[in-house]
Amino acid sequence: QVQLEESGGRSVQAGGSLRLSCTISGPPYSRDCLAWFRQRTAQEREGVAGIDSKGTTPYADSVVDRFTISQDDDRQTLYLEMKNVKPEDSGRYYCAADPGFCSPWKLRSSSYFRYWGQGTQVTVSS
């Protein structure tokens, strides 16, 4: 069983920066692809970025050159560095894990991920 817990969400002004963290436990073979999704109000969860054991890091087009996903060496902590944030980056950010490798298509739907955290709220004010 994989467990994930996010932290780091807060209110920030547009143009600012923040870093989200996700602590992860469970067998490595069950969590090869780690990812960040976000949900803005009633919308579906949107894939933001992913990272797998091979170093593949797909990103959503809307966050390229602003967000960076990374992990520590033992893959038990996942990070999302967010820079130059915009009001449209507001939402609840979720950490997700799945046994398979990451790819851009995998970020297109939350249904491809088996394990989820409870989320952390990010609010960007203009």
Q: pLDDT for 71-84, tens place per residue? A: 998 889 999 999 99
Tokens of 83: 């820079």
Give the mean model confidence (pLDDT) for residues 26-50.
92
pLDDT bracket for residue 42 (50, 70, 90): confident
Output the DSSP codes for 48-112. Answer: EEEE-TT----B-GGGTTTEEEEE-TTS-EEEEEE-S--GGG-EEEEEEEESSPP-GGGGG-GGG
Per-residue confidence (pLDDT) for residue 29, from 0 to 100: 84
Position 55 pLDDT exceeds 90:
no
> Among candidates 27, 28, 46, which has minimal Cα distance to 37?
46
C-alpha distance from residue 10 to each of 16, 47, 73, 90, 92 (Å)? 11, 20, 26, 10, 10
CA angle at residue 67 from 49 to 99, to 5 degrees? 20
Using the predicted structure, report yes or no on whether residue 53 has a pLDDT greater than 90: no
